[in-house]
Structure 1
Amino acid sequence: MKTTFITMSVLAATLFFTTVTLAADAVWTDNFEAAKIKATKEGKDLLLHFTGSDWCPWCVKLHKEVFSQETFKREAPKHFVLVDIDFPRRKEQSEKVKKQNRGLEKRYRVEGFPTIILTDASGRPYARTGYQEGGPDNFLKHLQELSTLKTKRDALFEKAENAKGVEQAKLFDQALNWLKSNGINSLNEYTDIIDKIIAYDTDNAAGLKANYAVQKVQYESSDRLSDIMSNLDHNLLEEYDKAIKKLEMLIETSKPVPEIVQTIYLKMAELYQEGKKDDAAWLKNLEKAADVAPHTDIGKRILELLEEIEHNSLLVE
């Protein structure tokens, strides 16, 4: 009985502290898919907060000055479902959350913290920002201003939908360029719009079909390359063989974009050197990387490296 009482007491205490923690962070969730469902149900947008909560100075500053303030916690959830996408160095996270966050970081092309991305309920981004001075009131005003960008985006898309033929392709192109001008640099969330541009500029009369066809390959190949490399188990030699085969297949579908093919060859060289310890294959893939796009900065650096390797080989001989 005593043991049962102690166990129940510990359980009660655990539940109490869990409840307190959840209550303190009730305005935030770390579940992206659940957040989308909630946003759709409540007619709200998503505020994605990419942060390094326990090591990034500007992230800590933003949390202290804005996100921890009662004004923000009261007002922001009226318009947004708040999603915390954290990359801590000390705080524990489940593997599920870590995997989700890595995927979202890649998906939204996040390159630094803190990054705030506003999306519609489906996850399509329309605005990007970061730390702002002025506390919660100024930040809320800033969010309100950014929210108008979605209205503008939707109006541009509607105008395009009501047009016909190549004019429709041109208007969709204008809409995507407008998004780019407002900080949405990667359009991988708008591939359906890209497909429409390709379809409506049937004969490439506006010069859009060819351009966007290449962009689409670039987005898809980049995502696939990232998936292959991030899922590689570096402790298993056979995983290197599988990854190399996947990269070889990816080269075939990436040929319209030499820069992507170059990157793939570099990754293959890396796998041969790191996992297979095959210097000959490493060198061969470096040469292929240089040959496919010698005009790029990377291509030029590879050529310099190859010249240095050849020079050193001659000295040894």
Structure 2
Amino acid sequence: MKTIFTAIFLALFSVSISAQNSFDMAKKNAAEKNELIVLNFSGSDWCIPCIKLHKNIIESEDFKKLSTDNVLIYLNADFPRSKKNQPSAEIKKENALLADKYNPNGLFPLTLLLNCEGKILKTWEGLPSENSKNFSEEILAFYQKK
């Protein structure tokens, strides 16, 4: 019973940074708030580098601070393999459209820094070599240049 409670608790609180689900909404919000968009392509239940990226960078305090400081909007295009982890049909369709446009080679993880119009400013293929602080500082530098 204790294990079940712990698992439920961790599942509820493990995703502390909220990801937008609509690219159009993310672009609209980014334009209104003068923010950048971080678009991440991941395989959350099968891609070990994707899991490490989320744990070590996306869920870090440095990265979360960029979101709370209105520097960026985080959008995750997830492609899980397990049936129990499948997103809704609407989200699957949107993720497929995003992959067609921004990730035609199917790289995982692939992280893109975009402006509010969807133009690519920076690309990270695979697990970034930077730690969360350097990764976040690089994004902040792009934000300050615009």
Measured in 2, the distance between the counterparts of 1:21 and 1:32 equals 24
**Which has a greater percent of strand?**
2
Q: 2:113 aligns with which of 110, 118, 123?
A: 118
Higher relative contact order (CA 8 A, sep 6+): 2
CA distance in 2, matches of 1:128, 1:83: 14
- Residue 23 of structure 2 aligns with which residue? 32
| TM-score (ref. length: structure 2) | 0.77
Alignment-derived partner of residue 87 in structure 1? 79
Whether 2:134 is the aligned partner of 1:143: answer no
**Match of 1:47, SS?**
strand
Contact residue 48 and residue 116 of structure 1 kept, 8 A: yes
- Could you tell me which runs of 5 or more consecutive residues in structure 1 were left unpaired when the two chains were aligned: 1-16, 152-317
Which letter maps to 2:62?
Answer: T
**Mapping for residues 185-224 of structure 1, pairs under 5 Å:** none
Aligned to 1:54: 45
Choose which of 112, 129, 135 in structure 2 pairs with 1:133: 129
Aligned CA distance change for structure 1 residues 56 and 140 (closer, same or farther; 3 Å): same
Letter matched to residue 41 of structure 1? E
Normalised to the residue count of structure 1, the TM-score between the two structures is 0.38
On the 8 A contact 1:46/1:118 being kept in 2, the answer is yes
Q: Tell which structure's C-alpha radius of gyration is larger.
A: 1
Root-mean-square deviation (CA), in Å? 2.4
**1:107/1:62 Cα in 2 relative to 1: closer, same or farther (>3 Å)?**
same
Count of residues paired in the alignment:
131
Query: 1:196-247 CA deviation, whole Å, 9 max, x = no partner?
Result: xxxxxxxxxxxxxxxxxxxxxxxxxxxxxxxxxxxxxxxxxxxxxxxxxxxx
2: CA distance, partners of 1:66 / 1:139 = 8
Q: Structure 2, unaligned stretches of length 5 or more?
A: 1-7
Q: Which among 30, 36, 40 is matched to residue 45 of structure 1?
A: 36
Offset, 1:76: 4.2
**Residue pair 1:76, 1:140 contacting (<8 A) in 2 also:** no
- As a proportion of its length, which structure holds more helix? 1
